[in-house]
Amino acid sequence: MSEIRKQLRTYASSNIYFTLDPEQTPLLRKLLDQAEELDLRTEAGFNDLRPSFAELVRSREVHRIIDNEVNMLAHDTRYVPSGSSGTTMLLAESPTMVLTATILEERHAASHAIYSPAGNAMFGNLGPSDFPVCLHQRPANSNIAVFDKTKVLEIQPPVIIGVGEVLMLSATEHVPEYRCTGPSLMLKLTSRVYQPLIWVYDKFTGIPTMASAGNLHSSRTQMMLRTLAALEAGSPQGAPDPRSVESVATLCKHEFHFVRWGAVQTLCNIDFERGKQALMDAVDDPHPHIVNAARSSVSKLRQQGLIA
């Protein structure tokens, strides 16, 4: 962990995850400066970053960053690039955006599954070759927060993204399908105004198959709620920690419906009296899936004589 912390630097309000001096990346610094000045919570503010992002895509700055990372790896066996995976390198992040470089390969096109974006995004082709991408359309009447297998994608033909070109993605409208025939490097800027869910589709039929949490924070919150419920259920200590009860009660008002419902379930497990009231309140939740689940749970508890 100490090695990773040594690598972490900041520029403006962004964390930088590469070792090359930011003075050698003026276009990236320009992008980060503008990201700090603009209101990226709005689609218009996010779209205002496109000219600076396009400049960065057409430059050689990302290539220089990667050259420097390879040099570091060749000469320091303790060095591990922070936030990177087998195909993606995290370059910078702030409270409002994430900048990554991803290798697109033919195997990405082989998968039958395609995913809706977690947030509005723009991506650019860093080369070495053009690649086709389909921007399939979500139905106009589809609510991304309410998973519905009848909301089938409108399949779109591919467009060719040339080296140095940029394309915009709307998290509520588009589902991208990359059809790579050879390796290409994609630079991607994603807004951190996350959608509640990421939908997974069959790319041949456009039919939704499942949904998952739209960001890591909400996913981990849901997991921790389940863990707390399991620990308290098996605890010989008696009454739960009052701080935990209050924290879970706060999460019953979370912005994402699956976290709210997880909190209601956990509260019922660790403090049934508080949980009963949260369950009754959930009958009037704005999300239809919670309303249905809460009504069913209340009905069962009434049959057992646990709720009046």
Q: Which two tokens stand for residue 189?
A: 């800027």
pLDDT in tens, 46-86: 999 999 999 999 999 999 999 988 998 898 888 887 777 77
- d(C-alpha 259, C-alpha 262), whole Å: 5
The pLDDT assigned to 242 comes to 84
CA distances from 221 to 62, 71, 189, 228, 264 (A): 34, 38, 25, 11, 13
The pLDDT assigned to 235 comes to 61
Residue 206 gets the label, from left (phi > 0), alpha (psi -120 to 50) or beta, of: left
pLDDT in tens, 252-268: 999 999 999 999 999 99
The pLDDT assigned to 43 comes to 85
Higher-pLDDT residue of 189, 43: 189
Does residue 5 register a pLDDT over 70? no
pLDDT band at 3 (very low <50, low <70, confident <90, very high): very low
pLDDT in tens, 129-161: 899 999 999 998 889 999 999 999 999 999 999
Residue 156 gets the label, from left (phi > 0), alpha (psi -120 to 50) or beta, of: beta
Is-contact 162 202, C-beta < 8 A?
no
The pLDDT assigned to 141 comes to 85
- Of 262, 271, 276, the C-alpha closest to 308 is 276
The pLDDT assigned to 2 comes to 37
Percent of residues, the chain, with pLDDT higher than 70:
93
Q: Which two tokens stand for residue 67?
A: 């050259």
CA distances from 94 to 25, 136, 263 (A): 17, 29, 28
Is-contact 170 140, C-beta < 8 A?
no
- Measured from the Cβ of residue 110, the count of other Cβ atoms closer than 10 Å reads 8
Q: Which two tokens stand for residue 11?
A: 């520029």
